[in-house]
Structure 1
Amino acid sequence: MSSPSTVRTSGDYHADRRYEYARAAFEERDFEAAADLARQVLELAPNFVAAHAMLGRSLAELGGREEAVAALRQALSLEPKDALGVRLDLARLGALAPDEAITDGYVRALFDDYAPKFDQHLTKSLAYRGPELIADALRRACSKQIREHRFGQILDLGCGTGLMAQELAGFCAAIEGVDLSPRMLEKAERTELYDALHEGELVAFLSGRGTGEADLVVAADVLVYMAALDAVFREAHRVLNPKGLFAFTVQAHEGDGYILGDDARYAHGEPYLHRLADSLGFTPVVFEPVSTREDRGVPVPGFLVVLQR
């Protein structure tokens, strides 16, 4: 996925038209024309955030780092929630720490924009199979632990349109989901599989839940939008009852810690994940390399993990 495409109007018809020309030039990789048109837009509408972002991105492509950073910072000052994702551009230019690159505002805007085509694009174009892999891993984990493949309360983090609930339907007493995107939650609600749906950030959601209340916490392809995972691991451990399971997928990289990839997602290293699990007393039941999706036809490396409290 790219940055959110939805652009609010500048309030000036001529500026909006010129911005569309700038965007078309950028998509055709005519960055000089895009930068020139963005400047023309800003003469008409000096506070149009999208035009500042367009100017910064165009200048970055042309090698004008200093000017690019200034334009992007102006965009961010006008819209601190960063629905357009300019923090990612600043991080790529080395002007912002990688772990500050992705905000809740960006993720919300990204998935609100993506919601209408999410299921078909993800499963068909990207060959996404995160929920299917997690469901299979949970079956294997239960078999290894000689326990019934059935759960009481499930908490689905970053539930999206409900693909994970579809895989777990019939294997739980209750399932609740949380997501930043109201449009994704609207689609999840239509599945009629959730006992409750919550709009919000996942760590804050977990922090508001009771200690030991859940049998299972799942996070399918959502931790890729988080840098440090300490807080989510800690809260998942707290809300799980004894022997409860935490199942998730992440993108992988060969080193330690985490990195911000060119695909605007974070990748996490195996030593980092093991260290976090060990520090909280989680026991790995399943920990294996997988690919949950493709990028331009190439499998993206990741990890499939099931931890037991």
Structure 2
Amino acid sequence: MPPTSTARSTGDFRADRRYEYARAAFDERDFEAAADLARQVLELAPDFAAAHAMLGRSLAELGVQEEAVGALRQALALEPADELGVRLDLARLGALAPDEAITEGYVRALFDDYAPKFDQHLTKSLSYRGPELIADALRRACSKQAREYRFGPTLDLGCGTGLMAQALDGSCASVEGVDLSPGMLEKAGKTTLYDALHEGELVAFLSGRASAEADLVVAADVFVYMAALDSAFREVHRVLKGEGLFAFTVQAHEGEGFILGADARYAHSEAYVRQLAEAVGFTVVIFERASTREDRGVPVPGFLCVMQR
């Protein structure tokens, strides 16, 4: 289901109450009831995008694909920024290209909704350890190259609440973070570990930075919300100083290129990442299998990478 905060209110108490009943029915997998209740909401509030999305998702579960796609497209027309995440549903139904499934609006809404419980949920419920894995990989990379585990200006892409800066604490001359979510940035600011925090999309952020200004760029579990990584890799390469390091994680895909997984995240193949790194001009220092989190108690396969400019 989409972030709960994006539903908002219809302004009609009866419609809002029916929508909450529809959400409850959907969560209980009573999709017929959820669809019926969503239709009742739309009779009272025809332009309520969340109800169109609820109707579409319920119909998709019931196997009524054509009508489901129509309802989801209506939701998207009413909320083109797609904070409701209906592009993901359309992609799953084959009605939208997978690389168009995730928008900035969806990611921003997802993590604004997630921010209050983010650290607790990730580290306790999902056994998340991406930042620790990246910090360890950087130590090993520095040892392999006989260089000190110390970095100059550092950029943290998709910094979230600041877990990456905490894992690197004391190792960087300065750290700047960028994230789409104001809620996440507010929590990151409370760590007092960042010299500056920026709200925005990471490629646009990088494109506004000076060439050869950073000693280290890190991206912990960020590329799972991006399909093609070409622009990100090119901009990271440009902003890094000579011999600067780029450390990141991705979810693993055993085929070619990248796919949109059932978990609503992108997974990238080893061949795709290696070929892109070579094309951009990176030298691979570390490339290994690693899992940064669990899904229902099962480790999610991924890759842990450190590259040098």
Name the TM tier (shorter chain).
over 0.9
- Structure 2 residue runs of 5 or longer lacking an equivalent are none
The aligned runs of 1:20-39 (5 Å cut-off) are: 20-39=20-39
2:229 alignment partner in structure 1: 229
1:101 alignment partner in structure 2: 101
2:54 alignment partner in structure 1: 54
Name the CA distance, whole Å, in 2 between partners of 1:29 and 1:199.
Answer: 37
User: TM-score, normalised to structure 2's length?
Assistant: 0.99
Per-residue CA deviation, residues 191-218 of structure 1 (Å, 9 max, x unaligned), is 0000000000000000000000000000
1:164 alignment partner in structure 2: 164
2:9 alignment partner in structure 1: 9
2:200 alignment partner in structure 1: 200
Moved over 3 A (4+): none
1:69 alignment partner in structure 2: 69
1:132 alignment partner in structure 2: 132
Whether 1:151 aligns to 2:151 is yes
Per-residue CA deviation, residues 75-106 of structure 1 (Å, 9 max, x unaligned), is 00000000010000000000000000000000
Name the CA distance, whole Å, in 2 between partners of 1:177 and 1:94.
Answer: 35
Name the CA distance, whole Å, in 1 between partners of 2:89 and 2:294.
Answer: 23
Name the CA distance, whole Å, in 1 between partners of 2:60 and 2:82.
Answer: 18
Name the CA distance, whole Å, in 2 between partners of 1:94 and 1:12.
Answer: 34
1:79 alignment partner in structure 2: 79
Name the CA distance, whole Å, in 1 between partners of 2:248 and 2:207.
Answer: 18
- Structure 1 residue runs of 5 or longer lacking an equivalent are none
Cα deviation for residue 280 of structure 1 reads 1.4
2:188 alignment partner in structure 1: 188
Cα deviation for residue 3 of structure 1 reads 2.2
Cα deviation for residue 148 of structure 1 reads 1.0
Name the CA distance, whole Å, in 2 between partners of 1:140 and 1:271.
Answer: 23
Per-residue CA deviation, residues 278-309 of structure 1 (Å, 9 max, x unaligned), is 00110110100000000000000000000000
Cα deviation for residue 11 of structure 1 reads 1.0
User: TM-score, normalised to structure 1's length?
Assistant: 0.99
Name the CA distance, whole Å, in 2 between partners of 1:68 and 1:47.
Answer: 16
Q: Which amino acid aligns with 1:281?
A: G
| SS of match in other structure, 2:4 | coil
Name the CA distance, whole Å, in 2 between partners of 1:267 and 1:155.
Answer: 23
| SS of match in other structure, 1:75 | helix
Per-residue CA deviation, residues 223-264 of structure 1 (Å, 9 max, x unaligned), is 000000000000000000000000000000101100000000
| SS of match in other structure, 2:11 | coil
Whether 1:249 aligns to 2:261 is no
| SS of match in other structure, 2:63 | coil
Name the CA distance, whole Å, in 2 between partners of 1:235 and 1:41.
Answer: 46
Name the CA distance, whole Å, in 2 between partners of 1:31 and 1:235.
Answer: 45
Name the CA distance, whole Å, in 2 between partners of 1:215 and 1:256.
Answer: 31
Cα root mean square deviation, aligned? 0.5
